[in-house]
Amino acid sequence: MQILGQIIFILLFIFSIGFFARNVKKLIRNIKLGRPVNRFDQPGKRWAYMARVALGQSKMVVRPVAGIMHILVYVGFILINIEVLEIIIDGFTGGHRSFAPYLGSFYSFLIGFFEILAFLVLVGVIVFWFRRNVNKIKRFWAREMKGWPFKDGNIILYFEMVLMLAILVMNATDHQLQIMGEPGYAHESGIAGWFPVSDLIRPLFEGMSASGLIILERFAWWFHIIGILFFLNYLYYSKHLHIFLAFPNTYFAKMDPMGELDNLEAVTKEVDLMMDPNADPFAEPEGGEEESEPEKFGASDVMDLNWVQLLNAYTCTECGRCTSVCPANRTGKLLSPRKIMMDTRDRLEEVGKIIDEKGSFESDGKQLLDDYILREELWACTSCNACVEACPIGIDPLSIIIDMRRYLVMEESGAPQELNVMMNNIENNSAPWPYSQQDRLNWVEED
């Protein structure tokens, strides 16, 4: 029976890791659909930013209650899963608490420490559940959070609750079996582990038979490890993908001053060509006729964005901090920076499915602009960078908005009338106002 359990565990583990690797490969492929951009400069500054924001959670604690709870849940969940290493070894070898003989008293400290963390994670998750479902904080109930995004947020919370409870039940029944001296659970050095939290529920199991305790302990053990492996593969389909992507996302974040916009390479090439007195305007483009199609100005679909913007889309936690500080959204405009990121990710996933089915991308008659993100949303943005500043992991919705605006203006001449008037005035009068240069100081004249 034990050998059968080991075989099942090994097969389950290999399948789970293989499925996870398949999704990681797909994720990398989709991100690489974006245009190239150099984000490998200033490595020292980037490492420091990643350590401060992704590891140190510096932007989370701006809102103390949510920030502290998030740190407890994040750090606790990560550290507790160090115990998963022991569970995996036990699963492969058929052993029981394989680290105990080697770590001695330190092992007991670790188990106790993990239990305290599990309790704190449980408390934090319950607080988050109440904030989302009872207090109904506005940013969790926005229009873009209907359906799957809202369900996903709760599913993750339920997952974490039951995984923490499974650890405590497993430890409580295990401790009781050790006390009873049950073969396979007893250790020569005495009780393996310190159980400060699970001991509070252990009296519930004191009247059970050894066989009943073993069944319950094994059920909790299998439930925990299967839950962890399922959770690992669920991440790809969840907003909690940021558990992995927050670190590269903050490392590759924009390091330039926040208000500085990048120059479009396609525009720069055109300007250089016009300014070059030796350039032949009728010359065939490099690469021959196959590459004669001019470069697109701005972005209308996900392939026109750069790979960091696509990484941003996958990393979005859907927390809504960006939308909650957006002045356009707060005044009733259609724009939601969170929705911009969610729409970009959804479109990218749709493109990825087409590639999966057909081997390469074939137009499906849809694009990010209009089919996902409306023009009204784009033009509602004030370009204030409040969303970028608020994001706890360095996501930049504004860069996507700017690139799509550039497409509308330079490819479709689709700017709003007010903006067209301003640009015409700048072209004709060197100022955004409808006055000639000779008349611009008339306002100082007294009646």
Number of domains in the chain: 2
Distance CA 2, CA 378 (A): 60
For residue 134, the enclosing domain spans 2-31+63-251
- Asked, for residue 26, whether it belongs to a domain, the answer is yes
Which residues on neighbouring strands pair with residue 306, listed in sequence order? 35
- Asked, for residue 163, whether it belongs to a domain, the answer is yes
Distance CA 394, CA 312 (A): 8
**Per-position pLDDT tens, the chain of length 447:** 578 888 889 999 999 999 999 999 999 999 999 999 999 999 999 999 999 999 888 998 888 888 888 888 888 877 877 788 888 888 888 888 888 888 888 888 988 998 998 899 899 899 999 989 998 888 888 889 988 888 998 998 998 899 899 999 999 998 898 888 888 777 766 787 888 999 999 999 888 898 999 899 999 999 989 998 998 899 899 988 988 999 999 999 999 888 888 888 878 887 887 888 877 766 666 655 545 566 788 999 999 999 999 999 999 999 999 999 999 999 999 999 999 999 999 999 999 999 999 999 998 999 999 999 999 999 999 999 999 999 999 999 999 999 999 999 989 888 888 888 888 888 888 888 888 777 777 767 765
pTM value is 0.87
The answer to whether 408 and 375 have CB atoms below 8 angstroms apart is yes
Would you say the C-alpha torsion 223, 226, 232, 238 has a positive or negative sign? negative
- Are 240 and 271 part of one and the same domain? no
- Are 23 and 109 part of one and the same domain? yes
- Are 243 and 269 part of one and the same domain? no
- Are 343 and 239 part of one and the same domain? no
- Are 234 and 269 part of one and the same domain? no
Distance CA 382, CA 356 (A): 38
Residue carrying structure tokens 């490819």: 411
Distance CA 165, CA 203 (A): 16
